[in-house]
Chain A
């Protein structure tokens, strides 16, 4: 299945973020081996050079590490993973706030609306899947 890309950011940035999400969400477990550059590129439907660049960026951030011949592995360091998770969460929250501002909501209003929504969905079984 090919990954979808939007127009606003370079592909390698989007690939990097996509892999970060796979890692922080646990789809790819800490310590797990990543597919080879070529097969990962095939899975994503991107140029292997782009995939290589994304992996290099992730390596620089410490989220993954490479072993000379064995390939790339996800870090076992939970600290790094939660930092990245928080960064990604912050990004989504910023997007949310920006969207609310565009609607003319003040930050306080945005917060109370968020709480109201959370309470409304609190009784529902599907909270997690909805998010």
Chain B
């Protein structure tokens, strides 16, 4: 059974359609790149999957259920924004996640944080932007979730942080879970991906295994993306 499935999913903001009749299935064990230019509907799709938005039409199912308390137990979400309260220190944040998420592996998170040299007494407000993003990713990847939704995890970080983030995603890979990575920095994530979903103006243009693109078209996903989105 698909861990994430969209059936004729649409989301309109007023007269603007952010998503328009999307059909999509994501299977467990796959790392999927959700690729598209800014404003193509990537974030809208991820927000719908998290129940932060309600569909205008159609439906989105997580493990066969509409977004709600039960699906939130299955989904680990990394938003684009820093969502941690400034005043909290690392220890408080770990306790918070441990309190609310039954699948949170505190020891794993603590090990990754200490590996980065971040003391548990450090507050969010004392951290650089890059460190905050790493902390947030560590929290998200330390859950033993069924579906990871990572919205622009490598947007706006330096190359060293990017490698760290990508390694953290690989290092926590779980064959029972699916990972969806939304990004416009395709070349960086391409070696990680099993499949790509190209999205534009709220439509799915393509949902293909990466190997197929390279084998049948003889080009990288990045090159194909540049080609298909050239006019825009």
Contact = CB atoms under 8 A, between A and B. Distances in A.
Are A and B in direct contact (Cβ within 8 Å)? yes
Interface of A: 2-3, 5, 7-12, 38, 41-42, 44-50
B88 to A, nearest CB: 30
Give 4 closest A-B pairs by Cβ, nearest first: A7-B220, A10-B214, A46-B191, A10-B211
Interface residues of B, number: 24
B222 interface: yes
B31 interface: yes
A38 B219 CA distance: 26
A45 B163 contact: yes
A33 to B, nearest CB: 20
Interface in B177-227: 190-194, 210-211, 214-215, 218-220, 222-223
B171 interface: yes
Given A11-B211, A11-B214, A45 B170 contact: yes
B51 interface: no
Contacts of A38: 170-171, 173
B82 interface: no
Contacts of B218: 8
Interface of B: 29-31, 163, 166-167, 170-171, 173, 175, 190-194, 210-211, 214-215, 218-220, 222-223
A47 B192 contact: yes
A50 B211 CA distance: 9
A28 B176 CA distance: 31
B91 to A, nearest CB: 28
Given A7-B220, A8-B218, A42-B167, A47 B211 contact: no
B191 A47 contact: yes
A12 B193 CA distance: 11
Nearest to A37: B173
Nearest to A6: B220
Contact of B222 (A7, A8, A46, A47): A7
